[in-house]
Structure 1
């Protein structure tokens, strides 16, 4: 949603792409697919817990926070892409994103040296760092070439497919759960929405 908005209005100096009826339909199809893959697929599992402990308002707040995080991801990726383009190095652009991010995080949450040392010894820290650095670098490289709308849409689809693979095979010590047909249908609908947005 944020990527298409930036492209339509031309925010953050991105190339303007006029909003067409087909792009709107594609966005609606993409949102429908996301709803099916995420909400409907997990509705049965969470129905019992919701009945026992009604936390509808807190769930809504958390979902709004998640939506806001997605918007910030698009903003960050757009700025990273522009910086990488200006200095002709998506890797350095990603590096600066992490350096500034580190400074912000130090002030956002108090950290102790004991926790920092304990964290750096964990293999998850190194794995997350490598994956995060690679992700930010790739987004910096792709945003100027594909635009924020298409880049973020495809990366969101990748996130969903990756999550399904982790779930299906219990990767990285996660709990193993079979992927449902509802999730697969939702992913295919998301893909259709992306094709409608950008291919026609």
Structure 2
């Protein structure tokens, strides 16, 4: 239940962030908005680490550079998201982002990439993604 709650919160906040970033990018530019978003997110994350007094950041040197570079990917995600919102609108952008995430997630789970445990991918997962794609096509009509 806790995982579902966090997933829902993440989805809601991603949508709010998409709208806010697209609006901000109209005023200051997309890469500038991505920079501002990354910076404010960094400040909040540091604040939370300090408040909860989590000292696990000391293990940072043990993190693979591949995984430590995840923040750089976030800048690309932000830029892509803002650009897509301007072109297609929020609903279609989020729908297609979700499909892209699911397709890659199925590949990662099915292959066990990035040190994730391998999961069996069945027909129901594939049908679910195909149904989402059909839903986007219906949304686009």
Mark yes or no: TM-score above 0.5.
yes
Which residue number in structure 1 is paired with residue 4 of structure 2?
63
Q: CA 1:120 to 1:101, structure 2 compared with 1: closer, same or farther past 3 Å?
A: farther
Q: Which runs of 5+ in 2 are unaligned?
A: none
Segments of structure 1 that go 5 or more residues without pairing to the other structure are 1-58
TM-score computed with the length of structure 2 as normaliser: 0.86
What's the RMSD between the two structures over aligned residues? 2.1
What is the distance in 2 between the residues matched to 1:72 and 1:155?
Answer: 14
TM-score norm. by structure 1 comes to 0.62
1:77 aligns with 2:18: yes
> Does the CA-based 8 Å contact 1:90-1:138 persist in structure 2?
no
Tell me the matched-pair count.
138
Residue 176 of structure 1: which of 118, 122, 125 is its match? 118
Q: Give the match's secondary structure for 1:172.
A: coil
Q: For the residues of structure 2 that align with 1:99 and 1:165, how far apart are their CA atoms? A: 31
Rounded to whole Å, the distance in 1 between the matches of 2:19 and 2:56 is 32
Cα displacement (A) at 1:82: 1.5
CA displacement, residues 22-75 of structure 1 (integer Å, 9 cap, x when unaligned): xxxxxxxxxxxxxxxxxxxxxxxxxxxxxxxxxxxxx1x432332122111100
Does the alignment pair 1:125 with 2:68? Answer: yes
Q: Of the candidates 97, 106, 109, which is equivalent to residue 164 of structure 1?
A: 106
Q: CA 1:183–1:119 in structure 2 vs 1: closer, same or farther (change >3 Å)?
A: same
